[in-house]
């Protein structure tokens, strides 16, 4: 682990106030923050399902945001390799992270299109003989953030303080 994870609590803290309960720092969660954290954890439990229409539509939307001028021939196609999927069926690459990884890639593509396109098409810097597979790297970033922030640990990282309040500890 690099660095201190206590900064994460600040993301959920509306006031940004920190308090010391022990050697570790903790951050109080408001009811709204608690709800948001719970919704996020629920989203993490949704596997990518290639038979669900909403998942298929999200995958098509990702293609459209990535390659505006190229029509996708099929949801299983060699074209996906151009985006950095390991094979012709991107659904196999979501196994370790689920639907949230696709949602994160789609969010990145639609919210920050210039940065997304620059990374997808590797438009800056020196090109290497071996380069990262962009889409799979995006899935891995989602997975690593989930692990780093201990979001998949059920209640790990969430503790009750002395007053019985739920708090995130670092």
Residue 162 domain-assigned? yes
Residue 72 domain-assigned? yes
SS3 76: coil
DSSP 84: T
Q: Please count the structural domains in the chain.
A: 1
> In this model, does residue 4 exceed pLDDT 80?
no
Range of the domain at 157: 7-169
CB-facing half-sphere around the CA of 54: CA atoms within 13 A: 6
What does the pLDDT read at residue 2? Answer: 42
What does the pLDDT read at residue 156? Answer: 37
Q: In terms of pLDDT, which residue wins out, 18 or 54?
A: 54
Residue 1 domain-assigned? no
Residue 2 domain-assigned? no
Residue 64 domain-assigned? yes
> In this model, does residue 32 exceed pLDDT 60?
yes
**Residue 76: pLDDT band by 50, 70, 90 thresholds?**
very high
> In this model, does residue 12 exceed pLDDT 70?
no
Residue 21 domain-assigned? yes
**Residue 109: pLDDT band by 50, 70, 90 thresholds?**
very high
């Amino acid at each position: 682990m690099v660095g201190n994870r206590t900064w994460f609590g600040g993301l959920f803290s509306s006031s940004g106030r920190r308090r010391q309960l022990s050697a570790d720092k903790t951050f109080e969660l408001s009811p709204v923050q608690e709800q948001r954290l719970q919704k996020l954890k629920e989203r993490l439990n949704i596997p990518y399902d290639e038979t669900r229409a909403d998942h298929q539509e999200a995958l098509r939307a990702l293609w459209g945001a990535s390659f505006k001028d190229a029509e996708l021939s099929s949801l299983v196609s060699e074209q996906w390799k151009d985006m950095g999927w390991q094979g012709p069926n991107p659904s196999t690459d979501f196994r370790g992270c689920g639907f949230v990884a696709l949602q994160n890639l789609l969010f990145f593509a639609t919210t920050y299109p210039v940065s997304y396109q620059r990374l997808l098409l590797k438009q800056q810097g020196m090109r290497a003989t071996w380069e990262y597979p962009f889409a799979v790297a995006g899935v891995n970033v989602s997975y690593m953030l989930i692990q780093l922030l201990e979001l998949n640990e059920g209640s790990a990282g969430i503790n009750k303080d002395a007053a019985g309040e739920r708090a995130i500890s670092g």
